Amino acid sequence: MKRREFITLLGGAAAWPLATGAQQAAKLPTVGFLGATTPLVESQRLAAFVQRLRELGWMEGRNVAIEVRWAEGRSERFAEIAAELVRLKVDVILTHNTPPVLAAKQATSVIPIVFASAGDPVGTGVVASLARPGGNITGLSSQTADSSAKRLELLREVVPSLRRLAIIGNVGNPLTVLEMGEVQAAARTLGLEVITLEIRRGEDIAPAFDALKVRADALYLCGDPLVGTHRIRINTLALGARLPTMSVFRQYVEAGSLMSYGPNFADMFRRAAELVDKILRGAKPAEIPVEQAAKFDLVINLTTAKVLGLTIPESFLLRADEVIE
């Protein structure tokens, strides 16, 4: 879907809660979307979900209604929105990212929940197992913690002088705690020194960088709604400190991060639409195995590399799925 087409779609989406909620919720099956961050971050993913629903025969306003809510990376909003969607008696809750998924799970044990992405759904207690999720929840695992060592290896290829690694993440997110542990273990294997910058809210970001007294050689960004919402600010501070950055999300690279390696999240949202389709047609979430990310993308920002004075090997660029200039 082209950007202009989606802006038109999103304009409609913004009106969905007002225009369709009262009139259609009683008549049409309703999907409630708990967006972890902002439309700017998630718009293309939500568009992919809506488009796939259309391909499966679900037309918004005709045979399905969609209620869209944005938490803007604020953890307190996750529970508020989940509770609101439960009060609206939606037929399925769609969400993504571990804290919102856990908030939805806490809010209801009856309404089916589909998560378009969760970094380690078993390790964070979202589901009992991938094969048999149990309860009212299923979705897709982005394998964030499992792929963190690969991200560190790729970062070291681009920054061969890497000796001291800084890691920043929201420790209020159970997935971030797991991811940090995996990165630290991978760093030890590579003989790297690690400096951890722990945050819990936006106000913690600048002090965290101020506390980085010892010069680091690179910065690993743990994927999280809080970090995603403040990605421009974090990247600006990182560039100011001349720190090459690695993350799981392509959107961070668009905002100035050096590189990312992670699942194609638009593809995961399309696959989430297929799970929602099954549930709307009568399938039970407990009987739908959790799927794993199928496609991983390596994205690099050449403009950021030039600002940092890094020369990216041609062989590395050829392996990249996308090069932003």
Listing DSSP states for 50-86 in one string gives HHHHHHTT--BTTTBEEEEEE-TT-HHHHHHHHHHHH
DSSP, residue by residue, 78-116 = HHHHHHHHHHTT-SEEEE-SHHHHHHHHHH-SSS-EEEE
- At 10 the pLDDT is 45
Distance CA 21, CA 67 (A): 7
User: How many residues does this entry show for the chain?
Assistant: 325
Q: Where are the beta strands (DSSP E) in 143-256?
A: 164-170, 193-199, 218-221, 245-247
Range name among 142-151, 248-257, 264-273 with the lowest pLDDT average? 142-151
pLDDT band at 41 (very low <50, low <70, confident <90, very high): confident
3-state secondary structure at position 138 = strand
pLDDT at 7: 42
Output the pLDDT for position 5: 43
Q: State the fold for domain 3-142+264-296.
A: Rossmann fold (3.40.50)
Q: Is the pLDDT of residue 201 over 90?
A: yes
Task: Give the residue among 284, 144, 303 at the shortest CA–CA distance from 222.
Answer: 144
Report residue 103 CA to chain centroid gap. 15
Q: Are 183 and 173 in contact (CB under 8 A)?
A: no
Q: Which of 76-80, 161-165, 224-228 has the lowest mean pLDDT?
A: 224-228
Closest Cα to residue 319, out of 143, 119, 153?
153
Q: What is the pLDDT, as a whole number, of residue 50?
A: 97
Whether 6 has a pLDDT exceeding 80, the answer reads: no
CA proximity to 317, closest of 198, 154, 144? 154
Question: Is the domain 148-263+297-324 a CATH 3.40.50.2300 member?
Answer: yes
pLDDT at 187 over 90: yes
The amino acid sitting at 206 is A
In this prediction, residue 26 carries a pLDDT of: 52
Residue 11 has what pLDDT? Answer: 44
Give the Cα separation of 227 and 221 in Å (integer).
Answer: 8
Can you tell me the mean pLDDT for 171-185? 94
CATH 3.40.50.2300 residue ranges of the chain are 3-142+264-296, 148-263+297-324
Reported as a single tens digit per residue, the pLDDT across 261-301 is 999 999 999 999 999 999 999 999 999 999 999 899 999 99
Nearest Cα neighbor of 52 from 112, 140, 142, 143 is 140
Tokens 């979430």 belong to which residue? Answer: 285
pLDDT in tens, 48-64: 999 999 999 999 999 99
